[in-house]
Amino acid sequence: MADALGGHGDEHEEKRRRTSEPTPDVSVLVPCKNALPWLPLAVRAALLQHDLLAEVLVVDDWSTDGSGEWLDALAAALGSARARVERMAGAQPAEHNLAVVIPRRPTAATPNFGADAHAPAPAPPADAPAHEPAQPLAACDVAAEVLASESRCRLRVLSNRGHGQGAALQTALDASTADLIAHIEADDEFGPRRLALMRGALKASGGADAVFSVTRLIGTNVTAGMTSYVRWQNGLRDADELAAGRFIELPALHQVGMYTRASLDACAAHMPGAAAPERMLVYRELREWPVDYDFALRWYETGARAFRLDDADAAYEWRQHGSNGTRWQGRCSLDSLRACKASYFARALRDARAPARVQLWSVGRTLDAWAAALVAEGVEVIERFEWNPKQPPPAALGVGANARGGGGRGRAPVARGADSDGAHRAAASQRPTGAGAAGAKSAVPADAGTAGAVQRAYVRLFVYGAAPVRERVSRVLEDTWDSGRDFFAA
Q: Which of 117-121, 286-290, 379-383 is predicted with the least confidence, judged by mean pLDDT?
A: 117-121
Residues 6 or more apart whose Cβ sits within 8 Å of residue 163: 61, 94, 97, 98, 285
Instruction: State pTM to two decimals.
Output: 0.80
Amino acid at site 7: G
Q: How would residue 462 be classed by pLDDT, with cut points 50, 70 and 90?
A: very high
Q: How would residue 456 be classed by pLDDT, with cut points 50, 70 and 90?
A: confident
Q: Percent of the chain at pLDDT above 70?
A: 73
Helix axes 67-78, 39-47, angle to 10 degrees: 30
Strands of the sheet containing 486-489, edge to edge, are 409-411, 380-386, 357-362, 459-463, 486-489
- The residue among 24, 175, 182 whose CA lies nearest residue 85 is 175
- The residue among 345, 137, 332 whose CA lies nearest residue 226 is 332
Burial grade of 412 (CB within 10 A; 0-12, 13-18, 19 or more): exposed
More confident residue, 347 or 21: 347
**Helix%, strand%, coil% for the chain, nearest 5:** 35, 15, 50
DSSP category for residue 441: T
Note whether 56 and 82 are within 8 A (CB). Answer: no
How far apart are alpha carbons 264 and 181 in whole angstroms?
9
Distances from the Cα of 117 to the Cα of 114, 365, 395, 430, 467, angstroms: 6, 25, 30, 9, 7
Distances from the Cα of 60 to the Cα of 229, 274, 461, angstroms: 29, 26, 42
Q: So what's the pLDDT on residue 483? A: 80
How far apart are alpha carbons 224 and 393 in whole angstroms?
32
How far apart are alpha carbons 73 and 59 in whole angstroms?
15
Q: So what's the pLDDT on residue 87? A: 86
Q: So what's the pLDDT on residue 353? A: 73
More confident residue, 61 or 419: 61
Q: How would residue 438 be classed by pLDDT, with cut points 50, 70 and 90?
A: very low
- The residue among 178, 209, 213, 207 whose CA lies nearest residue 195 is 213
In terms of residues, how long is the chain? 490
Which tens digit of pLDDT belongs to each residue from 4-61? 333 455 666 656 555 667 999 999 999 999 999 999 999 999 999 999 999 999 999 9
Strand 154-159 relative to strand 54-60, pairing: parallel
CA dihedral 233, 317, 113, 99 (to 10 degrees): -110
Residues 6 or more apart whose Cβ sits within 8 Å of residue 142: 40, 43, 44, 47, 74, 77
Largest CA distance in the chain: 75
Distances from the Cα of 230 to the Cα of 79, 113, 128, 316, angstroms: 39, 8, 18, 11
How far apart are alpha carbons 47 and 54 in whole angstroms?
8
Sheet strands (E) in 198-351:
210-213, 215-219, 257-260, 306-309, 316-320
Average pLDDT over residues 177-205: 98
More confident residue, 399 or 418: 399
Q: How far is CA 151 from the centre of its chain?
A: 29
Q: How would residue 90 be classed by pLDDT, with cut points 50, 70 and 90?
A: low
pLDDT averaged over every residue in the chain: 80
End-to-end, the C-alpha distance of the chain in Å comes to 32
- Give one word for 394, left, alpha or beta, with left for phi > 0 and alpha for psi -120 to 50: beta
- The residue among 147, 153, 159 whose CA lies nearest residue 60 is 159
More confident residue, 136 or 92: 136
Q: So what's the pLDDT on residue 432? A: 27
Average pLDDT over residues 301-327: 89
Please say if the pLDDT value at position 310 is more than 90.
yes
How many other C-beta atoms lie within 10 A of the C-beta of residue 484? 21
Domains of the chain: 3-332 (3.90.550.10), 345-489 (no CATH)
> DSSP of 114-169, one letter per residue?
-TT-SSPPPPPPTT--SS--SSPPPHHHHHHHHHHSS---EEEEEE--S--HHHHH
Which tens digit of pLDDT belongs to each residue from 108-150? 333 343 333 334 445 544 544 445 777 899 999 999 999 999 9
